[in-house]
Structure 1
């Protein structure tokens, strides 16, 4: 099996893990997902993979389902076991993106359920070797209306894709969303933090962001291994000119420096210092995340 996936309790090829075109998950974007990075390390011929905060990612998946009223028939432990089966079948030799995808469907009887698919994809090339360049999204991110951005739903990501493509057509790597109040939110795939002298500033959930699990993990690393003070606060567009550094962070992306946001340019020395703290912590994460590590031997 080249690319195994777990779908509704069965093992199938990822290419065969299909969702009906008439399903509510497709027609009305009633689909949610979550995922974390699968770190792969090797000793001789033996490989070991691990995740950080898998239980938090699954809890967020369940919360997203609850927010949309999607019935998720599997428990947390069953979703972990599904991931374990996929990992054992794949036996990856490099880091992967581990994903849980839930799409609502209607049966012929009219009852509503959900297709659940668990799979892993290569992260090769996902993170660029150089600092990122962001442009401002053309559309404001409206908060306080519609589905909250704390819900990781496909409707949010599908709408963001157009903005990403527009930014790339103009020579940028991605875009940054600003809410209707002129406050910085996030990018389509990552949270943001900003370096201000001895402080790190991160936008607030109420500003229109997903509450990032990697952001929380980095905050833990910063508290243990640096003198930076972490401040969750409102960040306006006018504040961007005052920062000495900026970074993007997500489970798949990691923690990476930004060199430009629209007209604002940043020295990457300060940003790299923060990114290096994260990369160093990932060399031996068990020392920092004692209760949040799930290991998989094969």
Structure 2
């Protein structure tokens, strides 16, 4: 089946989708993006993703050419046209195409692109076995709360993780874990408290993290927002990551050292189950 994308108001075959080489997203990384999960053919946590998209757009001074309702309608149509049961919808908004100049022209129309990708969330071997992470210095810019397309540091981190035989990288700054290259970092202390860093300009406000946080609290898990160190993570009862494309993923090793017994822990398993159930019921 031919994949279909959407660019600036038109559905087109993905193979024919084109963006100008003068687009500011290509020339300056002057753009933002969102990835919304799809389960059973439905958008998951859509309101959170659209809210974060608007927040990122406001931070960069980008103007939305469509309403949230119109964007959701396009996303749903893409899901249908591409027959996506499990997967995601990727959306990218840039400052548009114009003569190369560090300063934008106010009358330049933005570029908005969307496409889908298929994933098998429910039969993920990594969710059963857990994943490995490696730590490295956080080399990103200071406004990590903006979901910018400027992802070179994350690309380098992912490459280094893969070369080390790991599936994710944890960024470390001033001795504390900030977040994963494409995920939120969480641990469970020996006392059973679920810990993750509070929202600020140092981390992206994770949509899946927000949903998991609420589900954990409803399930009676003690939760705490604070920074934690790599040593604390290594001494934890459990470690995990969350993202739109992994849901909840147990972490079984950090820098080659096992977390607890080196197997996925019960809280991570439980939260993954609760998230899937809540997503399907929403």
> Is contact 1:257-1:268 (8 Å) kept?
no
Matched, 1:24 2:24: yes
Q: Tell me, in whole angstroms, the C-alpha distance in 1 between the residues paired with 2:161 and 2:279.
A: 35
For residue 170 of structure 1, report the CA deviation from its aligned partner: 2.0
Indicate the residue corresponding to 1:232 in structure 2: 225
Matched, 1:63 2:52: no
Q: Which one of 240, 245, 251 corresponds to residue 244 of structure 2?
A: 251
Q: TM-score, normalised by structure 2?
A: 0.87
Indicate the residue corresponding to 1:183 in structure 2: 176
Indicate the residue corresponding to 1:212 in structure 2: 206
Q: RMSD across aligned C-alpha pairs, in angstroms? A: 2.3
Q: Which one of 100, 109, 115 corresponds to residue 111 of structure 2?
A: 115
How many residue pairs get aligned? The number is 271
- For 1:22, what is the secondary structure of its paired residue? coil
Q: Deviations over 1:120-140 (max 9, x none)?
A: 111248955331111112x33
Residues 1:127 and 1:28: Cα distance change in structure 2 (over 3 Å): farther
> Is contact 2:39-2:280 (8 Å) kept?
no
Q: Deviations over 1:240-298 (max 9, x none)?
A: 232111001111111011111115421355634322332244235465xxxxx4xxxxx
> Is contact 2:43-2:76 (8 Å) kept?
no
Residues 1:68 and 1:188: Cα distance change in structure 2 (over 3 Å): same
120-129 or 54-63, which deviates more: 120-129
Q: Tell me, in whole angstroms, the C-alpha distance in 1 between the residues paired with 2:15 and 2:92.
A: 14
For residue 103 of structure 1, report the CA deviation from its aligned partner: 2.1
Q: TM-score, normalised by structure 1?
A: 0.83
Residues 1:149 and 1:218: Cα distance change in structure 2 (over 3 Å): same
Q: Tell me, in whole angstroms, the C-alpha distance in 1 between the residues paired with 2:205 and 2:149.
A: 16
Q: How is 1:4-83 mapped onto 2 (pairs within 5 angstroms)?
A: 4-40=4-40, 49-83=41-75
Matched, 1:97 2:88: yes
- For 1:113, what is the secondary structure of its paired residue? coil
Q: Tell me, in whole angstroms, the C-alpha distance in 1 between the residues paired with 2:117 and 2:264.
A: 32
Indicate the residue corresponding to 2:138 in structure 1: 140
Q: Tell me, in whole angstroms, the C-alpha distance in 2 between the residues paired with 1:283 and 1:205.
A: 26
Q: Tell me, in whole angstroms, the C-alpha distance in 1 between the residues paired with 2:50 and 2:13.
A: 23
> Is contact 1:17-1:117 (8 Å) kept?
no
Extract unaligned runs of 5+ from structure 1. Answer: 41-48, 288-292, 294-298
